[in-house]
Amino acid sequence: MSVDKATVEKIASLARIALRDGEAEAFVPELNQILDWVEQLGEVDVTGVEPMTAVIPNTLRLRDDLVDADPLTGGNRREDVLANAPAAEHGFFGVPKVIE
């Protein structure tokens, strides 16, 4: 694929990028070089290579889920939490209506 000045100007217009005089011409060879490089990547033989998301193996470090593990921050504290609410309704935070 090859890029010309009209294509650069169209891409700039779609991306809402203002180009000054001569900038479109300057971008033509740069974009062509990028596209050539991408085509070279497509020629690489990757048979037998497993897809990866990182170069080193990552595993998530998880903790055990303990309900009510801490008496200060655990569950069953609804009344204490709602005591800080500017408006509480039916056991929930009351919020002003935003849609009529």
Could you read off the pLDDT of 35-77 as tens digits, one per residue? 999 999 989 999 998 888 888 888 888 888 777 777 777 777 8
> Other CB atoms closer than 10 Å to residue 8's CB: what's the count?
20
In this predicted structure, the answer to whether residue 97 has a pLDDT above a threshold of 80 is yes
Q: What is the distance between the alpha carbons of residues 100 and 85, in angstroms, rounded to a whole number?
A: 23
Domains and CATH numbers, the chain: 5-43 (1.10.20)
Residue 92 parent element (H or E):
strand 92-93
Beta bridge partners of 89: 92
Q: What is the pTM of this model?
A: 0.48
Both tokens assigned to 69: 């593990």
Kindly report, residue by residue over 74-93, the tens digit of the pLDDT.
Answer: 777 888 888 988 999 898 99
pLDDT score at 45 = 93
